Structure 1
Amino acid sequence: MVVQELLTVATEGRGTYEITDRIQEVVRNAGCRVGTCHVFQHHTSASLIVTENADPTVRRDLETIAERLAPDGDPAYRHDLEGPDDMAAHIRSVLTSTEVTLPVSEGRCVLGTWQGVYLWEHRYAGFRRRVTVTVQGE
């Protein structure tokens, strides 16, 4: 059995947006008891991460490190068509990931106690990000 659903995640600018519950709902509706759930976001200036979901300072610290690794407006960047956060957003996306694959057991994605799945928006402007969730199993 394979089920695929397209989600839209509205962002309000740079930051993390938890999508765990929406992914779990797709798995639940698919009726998959055991298998895999693949999550892919369709953009080059956002990413997907699995990280701590209890303490928001973890995600703030991740943003701090991302700012050090890929600062906005670096004069070395040639690509700045959409503003000073443009190339930095692309770099942050490449350093993280556009997809995650999660095991499915007993009808839900298997995550650790403090883990959540987040769309990480790397641009300052808000966007409507597309995320494809594919569930495969039995």
Structure 2
Amino acid sequence: MVVQETIQIETRGRSTYDISSQVHDIVRQSAIKTGICQLFIQHTSASLVLCENADPDVRSDLEKFMSRLVVDGDPMFDHRDEGPDDMSAHIRSILTNMDMSFPVTDGRPGLGVWQGIYLWEHRTHPHRRRVTVTIYGE
């Protein structure tokens, strides 16, 4: 059996957005008891991360690290069609993940206690993002 749905997330700009509950709901409603859940974000300037969900400082520290690693408006970038965060957002998404997979066990996402699923918006302005959730199993 295969179930596929797309969720939309309205971002408010650069940050992480917890989409765990939306994904968990789709997995539960799929009626698949054992299988794989695969997520794919349909954008080149946002990504998906599996991250610590208890302490928001972890995600804040990730943002600080990424801001130092990939600087908005760096003069070495030629591509800046949509502003100084354009190329840096593309690099950030390439360095992280545009997809992820995890097990479905007993009809639930087989994640660890401290793992949350996050959309990481790399642009500084709000965007509407789409994530395709595909669940394979029985």
TM (norm. structure 1) is 0.99
Q: What is the aligned partner in structure 2 of residue 25 from structure 1? A: 25
CA distance in 1, matches of 2:55, 2:71: 24
CA shift digits 1:9-66 (9 cap, x unpaired): 1100000000011001111111010000000000000000000001000000000110
RMSD, aligned CA = 0.5
Which structure 2 residues correspond to residues 49-64 of structure 1 after superposition, within 5 A? Answer: 49-64=49-64
Code of the aligned partner of 1:65: F
Q: What is the aligned partner in structure 1 of residue 81 from structure 2? A: 81
Q: What is the aligned partner in structure 1 of residue 92 from structure 2? A: 92
- The SS at the match of 1:74 is coil
Percent of aligned positions with the same letter in both sequences?
Answer: 55
CA distance in 1, matches of 2:62, 2:135: 29
Which structure 2 residues correspond to residues 119-138 of structure 1 after superposition, within 5 A? Answer: 119-138=119-138
Unmatched runs of 5 consecutive residues or more in structure 2:
none
- The SS at the match of 2:75 is coil
Divergent runs of 4+, >3 A: none
CA distance in 1, matches of 2:127, 2:85: 14
Unmatched runs of 5 consecutive residues or more in structure 1:
none
CA distance in 2, matches of 1:90, 1:66: 12
Which structure 2 residues correspond to residues 39-58 of structure 1 after superposition, within 5 A? Answer: 39-58=39-58
- The SS at the match of 1:61 is helix
